[in-house]
Amino acid sequence: MDRESLLKGGRRGPAIVPGKPGESVLIESLRHEGELQMPPGPKLPKKEIRVLTEWVRDGAVWGSKLRR
């Protein structure tokens, strides 16, 4: 998957909206807040969801190091 595909998204909308984690399908699905839940089964640890949420909030810069 490349950044442009994530920005374009699909029928549910863009997977990521840089600067707007609340509008990003990826973040919604990681939080298990909607129909789509990733990963299926147990949610990721809160820390991992927080790191990805911050990445989207910070602009979802491709190739950047994620803060842990």
pLDDT score, position 64: 62
Report residue 33 CA to chain centroid gap: 12
Sorted by sequence, the CB contacts under 8 Å of residue 33 that are 6+ apart come out as: none
Q: What is the pLDDT of residues 8-66, one digit of tens each?
A: 888 998 999 999 999 999 999 999 998 899 999 999 999 999 999 999 999 998 886 65
Sorted by sequence, the CB contacts under 8 Å of residue 64 that are 6+ apart come out as: 55, 58
Give the gyration radius of the chain's Cα atoms: 11
Q: Which two tokens stand for residue 26?
A: 């990826």
